[in-house]
Amino acid sequence: MGSLSSFKIGRVVFAQALMDNKLMLMIPGPTPIPEKVLLAQAKHPIGHRSGEFSEIMGEVTENLKWLHQTQNDVLVLSASGTGAMEAAIINFLSRGDRVLVGSNGKFGDRWAQICQAFGLDTQIITAQWGKPLDPADFQQALAADTDKAIKAVIITHSETSTGVLNSLEAINTHVKAHGEALIVVDAVTSLGAYNLPTDELGLDVVGSGSQKGYMIPPGLGFVSVSAKAWKAYEQATLPKFYLDLGKYQKAAAKNSNPFTPPISLVFALQTALQMMKAEGLGSIFARHDRQKRATRAAMRAMGQPLFTSDAAASPAVTAVMPQQVDAEQIRSVMKKRFNIALAGGQDQLKGQIFRIGHLGFVSDRDILTVVGALEATLFELGADGSAAGAGIAAASKILMAS
């Protein structure tokens, strides 16, 4: 009897150990990392001033331009996406400059906080969390600026906190009609998931972070800079040193860095960009769109209300506002029973929504897995509203048709 009991205990411990090594990240960042990228990161570091590293940086820079669809500078910072956002402010603006900031979520709010911290005259254009920014509000503010005092319009493209994709294209049209203002974009969860042709749209400053669509760990920030933005840089007077993009531009021209970069992350970036080029931009964007539609269809079939409309849905993350069961209970069961991590709500949405990430290295199989586990979780928590397997069927219909 004792040996049988020991066997059962040992089996449970072994099963738990297996699960500990099978964490499935279905959050909008950090995102899953391909094995090839992990292995690249595990290579022994080399000198960051060596010719070998310079060759790698040259390749990385060219592939970053490919991903951004630009001939402009794309600069690599040792920073998070927020570091890229701060660099986008301090390099092209001066204290007292007037800016328009769109805010309909946590990261739009963060833009406003950064601008205010550096003494900018910040006009915030808001929308309810879960709703997209209204381009007409920007048109009105920009048209009224007959003195051309507005120096920049600052937008979060994919608002990660709510799953909203703001209409950057429409807002940018009004910025271009203004003629003077820069368009500054947080593309942290849209770059690499949504078609964002930087040069075609005439985007001046685009910031992003490595732990999202790039499929590598946190630690690198990226900023693309237009010729118009570099002219503004010459007049900008906000203090800067480590995030002085002029230093990065000069170093990048020599396939180098002004400061010591995280070499292992650059190895990872090199491999991830190679993988993305092999897949192709069109296929990458189609995959994210397909998985977004499949996830949303599954939630509807399971009776789970979506927090955003289809017209404003981000390709990176789907926000769900459950009615019958607590969002945090859902996240807890998904983690404990299936070792699947879902994101929770932020700020005033904490406990009200959960968010399913489908960004970066996510496959159709991953979508079916999370939908199936969520169906089981809702059943365990006593939620009504759908027939068994309805979510899987709805997701499969979209995934198999594409």
Does 18 have pLDDT greater than 60?
no
Distance between start and end Cα atoms, the chain: 55
For residue 270, give Cα distances in angstroms to 62, 73, 193, 206, 281.
10, 17, 18, 20, 16
pLDDT in tens, 300-355: 999 999 999 999 999 999 999 998 899 999 999 999 999 999 999 999 999 999 99
What average pLDDT does the segment 386-393 reach?
A: 88
Would you state the pLDDT for residue 1?
A: 47
pLDDT in tens, 41-55: 999 999 999 999 999
**Pairing label, strands 158-159, 121-126:** unpaired
Q: What is the CATH number of domain 14-34+281-401?
A: 3.90.1150.10
pLDDT in tens, 225-262: 999 999 999 999 999 999 999 999 999 999 999 999 99
What average pLDDT does the segment 201-213 reach?
A: 98
Query: What sign results for the dihedral spanned by CA atoms 192, 196, 200, 202?
Result: negative
pLDDT in tens, 58-77: 999 999 999 999 999 999 99
Does 7 have pLDDT greater than 50?
no
CA distance 311 to 130: 12
pLDDT in tens, 175-185: 999 999 999 99
Map out the domains of the chain as residue ranges: 14-34+281-401, 45-277
Q: Residue 279: helix, strand or coil by DSSP?
A: helix
DSSP 198-236: HHHHT-SEEEEETTTTT-S-S--EEEEE-HHHHHHHHH-
- pTM higher than 0.75 for the full model? yes
Question: What Rg do the C-alpha atoms of the chain give, in angstroms?
Answer: 22
pLDDT in tens, 120-169: 999 999 999 999 999 999 999 999 999 999 999 999 999 999 999 999 99
Would you state the pLDDT for residue 120?
A: 98
Pick the CATH number of 45-277 from 3.30.2320.50, 3.20.20.70, 3.40.640.10, 3.10.20.740: 3.40.640.10
Contact present, 304 and 371 (Cβ < 8 Å): no
